[in-house]
Homo-oligomer: A and B are copies of this chain.
Amino acid sequence: MFEYHLKAKGYELDSYNHVNNAVYLNYMEQARWEIMRDQKLLDKLQSSGKKLVVTEVHVKYIREIRLFDEIVVLTKIKKEAPYLVFQHKIKNKTNGLFAAKANVKTILLDSDNMPEDIPDDLVDLTKKK
C-alpha cells in the first residue's frame, strides 16, 4: 500500500465550499507521480519517451472534503494486461472516514503513442503490500 499525504487547500474549494469533484482526480494523479518517483521509475520512463496514460477513471464519492482537512491517498496497484490499474482510497484523517474510492486504469504508450506491454519494473509495483 502506497501513501500520499496532503491538505485540502482554499483554491480547491468550489462554490459549495467543499473540494470540487475534479480535484479528487488531481489528488490521485499526484499520488501516482509520487509512487513513480519513489520507485525510481519516473526518470526511466521519461528518458525512454514512454508515458503512462489514464484510459479510465471510476470514482465513488463518499463524503465531502473541507478546507484544511488532512488527507491520505492510499494506493494499491494491479496488473490487468495490457492495463496497470491503480486502486485509490482517499481517506480523510481529520475525521477518520473515507472520502472516496476509485479505480484508475492506465496504459503505457511508447514515444509514438503506441501501447506497450507493462514492463517488469512496473509490474513489481503490484507486489507492494
On A, residues with C-beta under 8 Å from B are 9-11, 13-17, 20-23, 25-26, 29-30, 33, 37, 51, 53-61, 64, 67-68
Contact = CB atoms under 8 A, between A and B. Distances in A.
A10 to B, nearest CB: 4
Contact of A29 (B21, B29, B61, B68): B21
Nearest to A33: B10
Nearest to A54: B21
A67 to B, nearest CB: 7
Contact of A26 (B22, B37, B57): B22
Contact of A15 (B15, B23, B53): B15
Query: Which of A17, A22, A53 is the most central at the interface, judged by chain B CB atoms within 10 Å of its CB?
Result: A22
